[in-house]
Structure 1
Amino acid sequence: MAFEELLDKVGGLGKFQMLQMTLILPSLMVVVCHSLLENFTAAVPGHRCWVHILDNATVSDNDTGILSPDVLLRISIPLDSNLKPEKCRRFLHPQWQLLHLNGTFPNMTDLDTEPCVDGWVYDHNLFSSTIVTEWDLVCDQQSQKPLIQSLVMVGTLMGGLIYGHLSDRFGRKLILRWCLLQLAISGTCTTFAPNIFIYCLLRFLSGCSIAVVIANNCSLIIEWTRSQSKGMVLTLIYCALSIGQMILGGLAFVFREWHTLQLVVSVPFFVFFLSSRWLVESSRWLIITNKPDEGLKELKIVAHRNGMKNVEETLNLEGLRATMQEELETTQTKTTMFDLFRTPNLRKRTCLLFFVRFANSISFFGIIINLQHFGSNIFLFQVIFGVLTLSVRCLALYPMNKVGRRPIQMLSMFLVGLSILINIFVPQDMQTLRLILASVGISCVAASQTSFSVHQSELTPTIVRAKAAGLDLLANRCGAALAPLLMALVVYLPTLPWIIYGVCPIIAVPVLLLLPETKNLPLPDTIQDVENNKKFSRKASEKDFYIKVTKF
């Protein structure tokens, strides 16, 4: 916590922090497109079986040319329970007798049918191509779409664990730059994937990078920001993610061919990789990892950029060691992921935060990856959800700073679960009401995510914060990976996935009561800070906050 004193000397929210955010926020806007890309590149268009009499261009429809395509479709494709053409079966032989029924419908089960042995015909009005149309991921192969979505999320899970550890060992900036390059290369190569296996492998590698690009960018901003401004900064980060959702909807509307859309959201990461060289490594991390000389160098760079004068007299190695003496003593022992569970208070916080993040994620991804469940205009839905999350994340800053992190999370997560459960009882033909309830749910998830991220960063000590962020991403991606797989349960009960999506956030509400409130408290730097559980005066913190803001 002593690092706050050093940060006050060099400027906790000034020109440097603004420049750092200017470099970071654009990459966050684009990286979220990769997380939700399969909403569009793997969209399932209308389809039916290919039939020789109707779709073979070398064969005339009939000798006299008097039969229309609708008539030929009627005698070739059976109707489902909704009197729509079947998507996965066709008549074994043309049923000419159906031409003389005058609006009546026979029992289709009495007629011989077969699977789509010659392939499918797709509706290209919405998308010129998707991976579904390219590799025929429909009917018996339709389960591959949620598997691909889950594979991307598993990639983010693995990336969070592996690169989270490497970030604590080698630095936030170095690992971030590597992941930006990895995402640029793997995303671009995905455009030219020759088969579904290569596509899945490349998307998995992209997923490994997605988690770290978000986590390390956040760390490079948060660890350079004073405690009183963390809520505002994290809100800006989440607003950037919401803008990314809106950008994806617009790009998908313009680029209807999946190869082009994939390339458009991948190439910018080569630019982000080059511009990341101007980012400044976290001095907080450098000092905690026993590199005070390098940390002091970065502090002086920040002081210079923030226009802080006469800091050379007070900002020196001796002063830094005196200020951070307790923290530097802890660097003699290397930390691991297991350090999050060694001591009772930190172990309790870690487990509770894991469950809350999991419950939050499973409801968020349950809504956001099933856009086609709410209607056909998924471009509009993507933009609407982006606008809503952007608005709510901006508005959540005031009550979060006024009321606290915990009450906002509890109210938001309860409303998330309630809106999803109510939607179960709304008929499918009432699409407007279903969309409104889904919008309420996604808005509340956004508010909960914003307050949770602030809360989580304030509950975790600096020395293991990247590892905690990796574990947080593990919980996040466990929920994200499970959410699409739950849709396979519709074969047993159509509402079962949505019941799970709704119940999980409601269960998390009483769990939040077991976590302490952190409003206006400084960041803990060491595990001992958490175990000591020091009681800071909120009145003193608030008074100090107003003094600092006025001075700034």
Structure 2
Amino acid sequence: MAFEELLNEVGGLGKFQILQMVLALPCLMLTICQILLENFTAAIPAHRCWVHILDNDTVSDNDTGTLSPDVLLRISIPLDSNLKPEKCHRFLHPQWQLLHLSGTFPNVTDLDTEPCVDGWVYDRSSFSSTIVTEWDLVCDYQSQKPLVQFAFMAGMLLGGFIYGCLSDRFGRKVILRWCLLQLAISGTCAAFAPNFLLYCSLRFWSGCSTVVAMSNNWMLVIEWIRSQSKAWVITLMNCAFSMGQIMLGALALVFRDWRTLQLVVSLPFFVFLFLSRWLVESARWLIITNKPEEGLKELQKVARRNGLKNIEATLNMEGLRATMQEELEAARTKTTLLDLFRTPNLRKRICLLFFVRFANAIPFYGIFINLQYFGSNIFLFQVIFGILTASVRFAALLFLSHMDRRPTVMLFMCLLGLSILANMFVPQGERRQTLGERKRPFPILQGSQWSHFVHYTELIPTLVRATASGLENLAARGGATLAPLLMTVAVYLPTLPWIIYAVSPILGGLVIFFLPETRNLPLPDTIQDVENE
């Protein structure tokens, strides 16, 4: 924690920190677009079977007389239980007798039907193309569509763990630059994928780098910020995610073709890779990994950017070694993944924080996989949620500025659980119409996740922060995997999944009570800092 003294000498919130944030924020905006991309590129438009007499360009008007398309559709496609054309079946032969049944709906279950052997016709009013229309991921093939998001999540799971460990070993900046290059190449190549399997593989590769592009950008900013300003800076960086959601909705509205949209949100990462050369490596990490000379150079560079003259006279190696003596002694011992669980205080923190992240992830993905219940325009829906999340983050900042960390996180997590329970009392028939009721838990969910992230950042020591973030990602992906599986129990009790979604954040909020308070305290740098507390 002695690094705070050095940070006060060179400036804890000056021109350098502002430049560091300016370089990081656009990258954060585009990474959230990568995570939410399948909301648009994998959207399922309305569809029906291809019909010869209706969709074959070689069939002339003389072949069908003066029959309208609606009439031809009626004799070619059976109706489902909602009296809409079936999506996955067509009549084996045109049922001309149905033309004489005006205003009535006969029982056609006995008529011969067949699957869509000639393909499908898609409604292209909202999207000119998606991966669903590109590779016909509907009807018997609709189970393949979730594989894309699964591949991306699996990439985030693996990449967060591997690159998190590498970031603690080789540095935040070098791993970030590699991940930016990987994300730029994989995202761009995905826009030209010739088949579904290759597309899933490229999305997996993108997922490996996306989570690290976010976390390392975070650390390169937060580890240069003084304790009193962390909440404001983290709020600003979180708002970049909200702006990314708004931007994605606008981009998807303009670029209706999935390949074009994929390319638009991937090419900028080549620019971010070039700009990242001006990012400064974390001096915290350099010093506590026994690289004091490099850490001193970065500190002096920051001081000059913050307008301090002749900093070499006051900030030198002797002063650095005297200030960071305990940290430099601890740096002689190499840390591993097992060090997260070797000492009692850190082990307790890690286990409790993992449970809280798991409990937060369950309702987060539980709500996201049921977005169809909102019944709103998908483009407007994305923009509205971006605005809501930005506003609730600033509301959470007010709580964090006037309240301690623990009661703030407990408050938002308990409110999240209660809001989900409250939605259960909205009658099923009114849920699609009552948009305000249905979207109420979402901004509270964002406040819950954000306030927990602030608390989490202040509890983990710099020496193992990236490794812990990668391991914590396992807990989040575990919750993400469990959330859709919980919907299978709805066959026994329709409200049971939502009860579990509601109870899990309430339990997580209670666990927060057993974690220490961190408001206005400096970031811990070593494991010994945690044990000394």
Could you state the TM-score of these two structures normalised by the residue count of structure 1? Answer: 0.92
Aligned equivalent of 1:321? 321
Aligned equivalent of 1:240? 240
Task: Note the 1:294-333 alignment, pairs <5 A.
Answer: 294-333=294-333
Aligned equivalent of 1:548? none
Cα offset, 1:86, TM superposition: 1.2
> Is the Cα–Cα contact under 8 Å of residues 151 and 481 in structure 1 kept in the other structure?
no
Q: Partners of 1:497 and 1:196 in 2: how far apart?
A: 32
Task: Note the 1:390-409 alignment, pairs <5 A.
Answer: 390-409=390-409
Q: Which moved more, 1:122-131 or 1:408-417?
A: 408-417
Q: Partners of 2:255 and 2:278 in 1: how far apart?
A: 32
Q: Partners of 2:432 and 2:112 in 1: how far apart?
A: 39
Aligned equivalent of 1:348? 348
CA pair 291-271 structure 1, distance change in 2 beyond 3 A: same
Structure 2 counterpart SS, 1:334? coil
CA pair 431-513 structure 1, distance change in 2 beyond 3 A: same
Aligned equivalent of 1:456? 456
> Is the Cα–Cα contact under 8 Å of residues 399 and 408 in structure 1 kept in the other structure?
yes
Cα offset, 1:142, TM superposition: 1.4
Q: Partners of 1:11 and 1:440 in 2: how far apart?
A: 41
> Is the Cα–Cα contact under 8 Å of residues 129 and 257 in structure 1 kept in the other structure?
yes
CA pair 9-264 structure 1, distance change in 2 beyond 3 A: same
- Output one character per residue of 1:121-160: Cα deviation in whole Å (capped at 9) or x when no partner: 1100010000000011111221222221121111111111
CA pair 496-123 structure 1, distance change in 2 beyond 3 A: farther
Task: Note the 1:328-339 alignment, pairs <5 A.
Answer: 328-339=328-339
Q: Partners of 1:99 and 1:233 in 2: how far apart?
A: 67
Aligned equivalent of 1:544? none
Aligned equivalent of 1:537? none
Where structure 1 has 5 or more consecutive residues not aligned to the other structure, the ranges are 534-552
Cα offset, 1:481, TM superposition: 4.4
> Is the Cα–Cα contact under 8 Å of residues 190 and 202 in structure 1 kept in the other structure?
yes
- Output one character per residue of 1:459-510: Cα deviation in whole Å (capped at 9) or x when no partner: 1111111111112222223333444565666777765654443332233121
Aligned equivalent of 1:106? 106
Aligned equivalent of 2:473? 473
Percent identical: 72
Q: Partners of 1:277 and 1:205 in 2: how far apart?
A: 23
1:383 partner amino acid: V
Cα offset, 1:107, TM superposition: 2.5
Cα offset, 1:61, TM superposition: 6.1
Task: Note the 1:37-436 alignment, pairs <5 A.
Answer: 37-60=37-60, 63=63, 65-368=65-368, 370-427=370-427, 430=430, 434-436=434-436
Structure 2 counterpart SS, 1:182? helix
- Output one character per residue of 1:83-120: Cα deviation in whole Å (capped at 9) or x when no partner: 11111112222222222222222223222222212211
Aligned equivalent of 1:538? none
Cα offset, 1:226, TM superposition: 0.7
Cα offset, 1:417, TM superposition: 2.6
> Is the Cα–Cα contact under 8 Å of residues 373 and 432 in structure 2 kept in the other structure?
no
> Is the Cα–Cα contact under 8 Å of residues 154 and 478 in structure 1 kept in the other structure?
no
Q: Partners of 1:237 and 1:490 in 2: how far apart?
A: 38
Q: Partners of 1:241 and 1:250 in 2: how far apart?
A: 14
Task: Note the 1:27-38 alignment, pairs <5 A.
Answer: 27-38=27-38
> Is the Cα–Cα contact under 8 Å of residues 423 and 434 in structure 1 kept in the other structure?
no
Aligned equivalent of 2:443? 443
Aligned equivalent of 2:10? 10
Where structure 2 has 5 or more consecutive residues not aligned to the other structure, the ranges are none
> Is the Cα–Cα contact under 8 Å of residues 39 and 369 in structure 1 kept in the other structure?
no
Aligned length: 533
> Is the Cα–Cα contact under 8 Å of residues 367 and 438 in structure 1 kept in the other structure?
no
Q: Which moved more, 1:272-281 or 1:101-110?
A: 101-110
Structure 2 counterpart SS, 1:143? helix
> Is the Cα–Cα contact under 8 Å of residues 421 and 499 in structure 2 kept in the other structure?
yes
> Is the Cα–Cα contact under 8 Å of residues 157 and 478 in structure 1 kept in the other structure?
no
Structure 1 counterpart SS, 2:365? helix
Structure 2 counterpart SS, 1:110? coil
Cα offset, 1:416, TM superposition: 2.1
CA pair 419-77 structure 1, distance change in 2 beyond 3 A: farther
Cα offset, 1:428, TM superposition: 5.6
> Is the Cα–Cα contact under 8 Å of residues 156 and 209 in structure 1 kept in the other structure?
yes
Q: Which moved more, 1:481-490 or 1:307-316?
A: 481-490
> Is the Cα–Cα contact under 8 Å of residues 373 and 431 in structure 2 kept in the other structure?
no
Q: Which moved more, 1:351-360 or 1:182-191?
A: 351-360
Structure 2 counterpart SS, 1:121? strand
1:445 partner amino acid: L
Structure 2 counterpart SS, 1:396? helix
Q: Which moved more, 1:353-362 or 1:164-173?
A: 353-362
1:320 partner amino acid: L
1:396 partner amino acid: A
> Is the Cα–Cα contact under 8 Å of residues 374 and 439 in structure 2 kept in the other structure?
no
